[in-house]
Amino acid sequence: MTAETTQTGNWVEVTTTDKIPAGKVIHVAPAGTHMALANIAGKLFAVDARCPHKLGPLARGTVQHNEIVCPWHRFRFDVRTGQSAAPAATFSVRTYPVRTVDDRVQILLEHDIDN
Ligand code: FES
């Protein structure tokens, strides 16, 4: 695993692009955190792994359009904003910046996550 420090945080390598094909969501755990990493039409998005409803495992959910669907009660979360759609619109998950460097997938963790 490699990391690059910026003013706002650290880019931490979590996997490689071959492990996250289009239409899939996987669990990654950089620096003790837990996230669901989704590939939607070739673009990667990271959100908190625990559903805010009843802590369902979003990394075991499915990807539909721009959303991850929780496997427990089917709440949907937009991976771009973290916001759930109605009727569960009061729920949201945190989102994290994702980038690829060659075939390496990196997530930006803010400094306070490491401390
Ligand atoms: S735990 Fe995710 S929708 Fe209920």
Q: How far is the CA of 1 from the centre of ligand 1 (A)?
A: 31
Ligand 1 close to Cβ of residue 75 (< 6 A) = yes
pLDDT value at residue 115: 45
- What's the total number of domains in the chain? 1
CATH of the domain at 32: 2.102.10.10
Tens of pLDDT, residue by residue over 26-69, are: 999 999 999 999 999 999 999 999 999 999 999 999 999 999 99
**HSE-up of 46 (CA within 13 Å, CB side)?**
22
Q: What is the DSSP code (8-state) at residue 20?
A: S
pLDDT value at residue 49: 98
pTM above 0.75, yes or no: yes
Tokens at 12, concatenated: 């931490």
Q: How far is the CA of 55 from the centre of ligand 1 (A)?
A: 6
Q: How far is the CA of 26 from the centre of ligand 1 (A)?
A: 17
Q: Grade residue 4 by pLDDT with cuts at 50, 70 and 90.
A: confident
The domain of 35 spans 3-114
